[in-house]
Amino acid sequence: MMATILYARVSTAEQNLEHQRTQAEAAGFQTDEVVADDGVSGITTRLVERPQGKRLFDMLRRGDTLVVRWVDRLGRNYQDVTDTIRDFMRRGVVIRTVINNMTFDGATQDPMQQAVRDALIAFMAATAQAQAEATKEAQKAGIAAARDKIEAYRGRKPSYDRVKLAEVLDMAGQGHGASAIANASGLSRAAVRRIMEAPEDAEAALARWEGVRA
């Protein structure tokens, strides 16, 4: 008996498995079972390596239909997605997408139809990877911008650590001058003078940067 299986994947807390199910139902798909991987990346983890993705390769038989919201649920890597779809088609499994209602199967023997089908698979797989890479770059840019804002709030990073600060204050308390302290600590004379003139400010500046990697 032929079966229709919905495969769903979520990789973040913002995504939702139930949404993919209801979206498929709203598009007219009647599924016999839902197979889902939760918290799995489509970029770093191939479908066959995912806990539930493995099940698909075991349970799908010739004549069955695999439904996915879009090909990016199968993966975000071009090679992985194209290999997966072609593998299923060789097994006689039909792949259908909820978005755009695309159908991929290996039944056709017409070379022109095969070429069009394969080109479309390649295009969609490439788009899935490109979207993932664009998202990653946007996230990196956002993190960098947030870091810049934080660093601007902290002010200039001190040239001394807590050990150096204690050394300067200790030597200053013993009556040593800025030049002698600079030579002993390895700090610039200007930095030593700033610490000596405003130790509370020096302590506050260091506190704002403690725990932050260079």
- Of 162, 156, 168, which Cα lies nearest the Cα of 203? 162
- 3-state class of 76 per DSSP? coil
Give the three-class secondary structure for 6: strand
Distance CA 21, CA 176 (A): 74
For residue 5, the surrounding DSSP H or E stretch is strand 4-10
C-alpha distances in angstroms, 201 versus 193, 195, 196?
12, 8, 10
Measured distance CA(107)–CA(93) in Å, rounded:
9
Give the C-alpha distances (Å, rounded to integers) separating 104 from 15, 60, 67, 203. Answer: 25, 15, 11, 65
CB 124 within 8 A of CB 71: yes
Q: Tokens 């975000």 map to which residue?
A: 76
**Catalytic residue selected from 11, 159, 185, 188:** 11
Q: Is 11 a catalytic residue?
A: yes
Q: Which residues contact 164 (CB under 8 A, 6 or more apart)?
A: 185, 186, 187
Q: Which sequence positions are flagged as catalytic?
A: 11
